[in-house]
Amino acid sequence: MIQAVADIEIRLLVEAVFLRYGHDFRDYAQASLKRRVLQAQQRMGAASISALQARVLHDPDAFAELLQYLTVPVSEMFRDPAYFLALRRHVVPVLRTYPSLKIWIAGCSTGEEPYSLAILLEEEGLLERTILYATDINHASLEKARQGIFPVDAMQAFTRNYQKAGGTRSFSDYYTAAYDRALFDKRLRDSITFADHSLATDAVFSETQFVSCRNVLIYFNRALQDRALGLFHESLSHRGFLGLGSKETLDFSAYADRFETVSRPDRLYRRLPT
């Protein structure tokens, strides 16, 4: 009975968030959503999920705090280095054939992946002709991403990933360290356009040659996964590339027959001709 009440409360909470703020979590995977809502309830000191809902409805700051739990803003630079190696091997040679490029990083969190891709493109001689769009629904994460500032004690792990990902320079060339922070180069920051965009409610905003959306679909139910994949398919130009997270796949989706597999271990796909 208690579990059933909690499930009802969560449904009411996400409906209230959608009506009040326009953020749609109604088609997020329920087990993951429930875990994060309960964590938010505990850490925000709410007596119940209903009490949390009341606070969020009347206090936008409380919603901003809740959003940190619902969107899981956790990442690292060159996460899954083999993915970036596969990009250098399979995707970059094709991207070189375009006079100009547009790349979409969906669910960019605090910016680790966009900066990783900007560095890769710089080393491959493509950054100057590329517009990088990095989108997320979390305003606080987007603001952190725009600043391009990361904890200096994370640089060691980022450097290891960078080296495994086929980096050709010294990783420290890309940032300036001072005290406990590392500021990434202005050239990298200026190459990325950060913007608010929801895969649950918004439409396609540009034609792109490559979409990277990693470790986002795992938090969606099947219907929302298909909606997001539909946006990616619509955004991609003829024979454009799609990259997913290591635990994500196009198999069994509504778009499984609209892409060919480029590298299954690295979750790289290519849009088939219509």
pLDDT digits (tens, 9 = 90+) for 236-269: 999 999 999 999 999 989 999 999 999 999 999 9
State the pTM of this model: 0.91
CA distance 76 to 79: 6
Q: Is residue 44 within 8 Å of residue 124, measured between CB atoms?
A: no
194 and 153 in contact (C-beta within 8 Å)? no
Q: What is the pLDDT of residues 186-238, one digit of tens each?
A: 999 999 999 999 999 999 999 999 999 999 999 999 999 999 999 999 999 99
Burial classification of residue 113, based on how many CB atoms lie within 10 Å of its CB (0-12 exposed, 13-18 middle, 19 or more buried) = buried
What gap in Å lies between CA 200 and CA 28, rounded to an integer?
Answer: 9
- 3-state class (DSSP) for residue 178: strand
**Distance (Å, whole) CA 213 – CA 191:** 19
From 229, 146, 228, 155, select the one nearest 195 (Cα to Cα).
146
pLDDT tens, position by position, 16-44: 999 999 999 999 988 889 999 999 999 99
Rounded mean pLDDT of 174-186? 95
Mean pLDDT of 3-15: 90
CA distance linking residue 78 with residue 150, whole number of Å: 14
